[in-house]
Structure formats: C-alpha cells, structure tokens
Amino acid sequence: MGIKKKYSKPFGDLNSLKTSFFNNNDGMLDMADGMADVLLMQPKRTRCKICGAKLSKPLYHSHRIGYIECTECGHLNSECEDTDDFASKVYVEDDYSKNYSAADKENYIRRRDMIYIPKAEYLRDCLKHEGLQAEDVNILDIGAGCGYFVSAVRQLGMMATGIDVSDSEVKFGNAMTDEPCLTHVGLTDSIGYIEKSSANVLTAIGVLEHLVHLDENIDAIRNNANIKYVFASVPMFSFSSCFEVAFANGYNRHTGGTHTHLFTNESVAKMAERMGFEIAYEWRFGSDINDLYRFLMVSMQKNNNEEFSRYFSDRFVPLMDELQQVLDKSDFSSELHFILKRK
C-alpha cells in the first residue's frame, strides 16, 4: 500500500497572528539566543540523530549555529549535541497556579477543540480506514504535557492515557478534566512505560524532536509488539528554516531554541524503519508563510514603516492559506503529521 497523503488545513483563527512571538519578537529572540548559548557549550555532534551516519561540514549557519545535512537520510542536525545538560537548562517548567479557575477550564477546552480535536479526528479516521473502530483504540500519549491531545481523543470515544516529565503540567491537565488520565514520570522512566504499555497506538505530538534519548525510545517502541500504530508530528527541514537564515533579527521558532534537529521525508522513513514500522499516512501542513509574514512585518516595523506594514498586511493575509498550500504540496514545509504502521 502506498502512503495516503493529505495536504494543508485552513489557517483559521487570525488571532493566532497576535501571539507573543509575533508581538514580542525581540524578547523571544533573546530567549532563543540564550538557548543557543547553552547548545554551543555542548559537545560537537558527530553522528546523525536518526540514522547514526557520520556527520561532516555544516550546510549553513542560522542564528550562530551550524546545521549539518546527513548524507544518508537528509536529517538536519545542529552542530552540537542535545544532551541531558542542555535539556535540564532549556526546558523550564511553566508556572501553573495552584488554584485553577473556571476560566482556565474554558480556555483549556477552547484550545483543545481548536488545535487538538482536528488531529484526533484525523487519527480516528485513518485508524477507521485500517479497520479499527474508536472503541478498539487504546492510546499511550508520550510527552502529553497538559493532556490536550489525550482529552481530545477521549472526547471522540478512544481510550487514552498520557505520560509527561513535567509534574506541573500533569497536575494542571488532570485538574482540567473529569477523569484524570495523565501520569508524571521521571526522565528515564518513560522508556519502561513504553516497553510495558498495553496500548495499541502510541502518540507523540511535537515530542520526538525533544527527546534527548530518542534512540532508546525508538527501541522501546520496536520491542513492544502491542504497539501497532504510531501517530506523531515533527518539525521539518523546510522553507521556514530558509526564511530564518535570511532574517537574522527574527525570532527563530523553528530551527533554534529547543529544536536542535529537524526531520526530512527520508529521515522520517528511516526512523520508521528503525522502529520496524512503515509510513501509512501523512498530513502535511506548515506555517512557513506565517513565519515569512512575521519576519516581513517585524523588519518593516524595525525600519520605521509601521503604517506601511499594515498596508502590506491587509493585502497579504488573505493570500496566506493559498500560499501555504503551494509550499505544503512541494513536500518542503515546516510540519508533518504521520501515522506509522507496524510491518
């Protein structure tokens, strides 16, 4: 069976153009620069994060960091290694207040419905195509965070539990739902959790790229025959990466900060192979155009063309969905959701 492909989604909520990294470019850039300082203190990366092939010279530099394209699988590796030390310094726990309000719960549900229900529906529909009904699905969500995705799949009638290394996010997520189903795990415990899980579907939304011990996680998935499907989303080497190279004063949300490596079509396939899986479904929608728009706006405002930036914005924003679709269809856009199937 070939890979079933789906492209793009409407950008939708224009309010997402007003997020903090849009309005607070310099503050976010400072934060990413601080993370780059930490990364540059780590040992040089000598082998590809995905296939282990020996790495050579950087293809390019962005925001002081060199990025090396793996000659075997195309995976984009930063020149320095993500280590436990790096992780302990850059993943700072968000501060969740102890007294959760009704407004928190409303915002939680709104965010879940807007961002995570479409992903959950996609998973449900693909699994249905595989002959699995919602009630047959039992999900282990790794890196579950506040449990938005777990809550979304449960809303659609699938069984799901989640694990995360952040105690405060787990507590917050469990307080937001009627049936607490998130468990806090230590950094090294998650491997054992995956190995012993009775789940038939493992999900990892925006998680794999953050795992320092990705190799061990891949092995754990391979070794647990209960797991028949893996649903994940990962950041891709893409036009967003290129735009970041061109705009050195723009906040590099994609190739920088906690992202020390980016996937390619070939490296996703390589990772699937290492798990003993194959790619069955792909849904490709990036935010490359959103990044480009942000960089252009920030640059115009920095050179005292604030008013003109609005003139530009009025004309550009209505085109963004369509422009992004073109980039998505080129298979070189910033985010990929995929479902792997055990061979």
Task: Yes or no: say if 86 and 38 are a contact pair by the CB < 8 Å rule.
Answer: yes
Identify the DSSP state of 94.
P
State the DSSP string of 22-83: HH-HHHHHHHHHHHHHHHHTSPBP-B-TTT-PBP-S-SEEETTEEEEE-TTT--EEESB---
Task: Yes or no: say if 69 and 76 are a contact pair by the CB < 8 Å rule.
Answer: yes
Nearest to 118 by CA among 70, 170, 156, 164: 156
Q: What's the min distance (Å) between Cβ of 230 and Zn ion?
A: 19
Specify the residue, 33 or 273, whose C-beta has the smaller distance to Zn ion: 273
Specify the residue, 72 or 136, whose C-beta has the smaller distance to Zn ion: 72
Specify the residue, 76 or 140, whose C-beta has the smaller distance to Zn ion: 76
In the complex, the residues that contact Zn ion under the rule CB under 5 A are: 48, 50-51, 53, 70, 72-73, 75
Q: What's the min distance (Å) between Cβ of 47 and Zn ion?
A: 8
Residue 3 DSSP SS3: coil
Q: What's the min distance (Å) between Cβ of 113 and Zn ion?
A: 37
Specify the residue, 53 or 115, whose C-beta has the smaller distance to Zn ion: 53
Distance CA 231, CA 337 (A): 7
Distance CA 139, CA 116 (A): 15
Q: What's the min distance (Å) between Cβ of 84 and Zn ion?
A: 22
Specify the residue, 241 or 309, whose C-beta has the smaller distance to Zn ion: 241
Task: Yes or no: say if 9 and 287 are a contact pair by the CB < 8 Å rule.
Answer: no
Q: What's the min distance (Å) between Cβ of 332 and Zn ion?
A: 17
The alpha helices in the chain, defined as continuous H runs, are 20-23, 25-40, 84-90, 102-111, 117-129, 148-155, 167-176, 189-196, 214-223, 239-246, 265-275, 288-302, 306-316, 320-329
Specify the residue, 70 or 205, whose C-beta has the smaller distance to Zn ion: 70
Q: What's the min distance (Å) between Cβ of 277 and Zn ion?
A: 17
Nearest to 231 by CA among 127, 307, 103: 127
Q: What's the min distance (Å) between Cβ of 90 and Zn ion?
A: 23
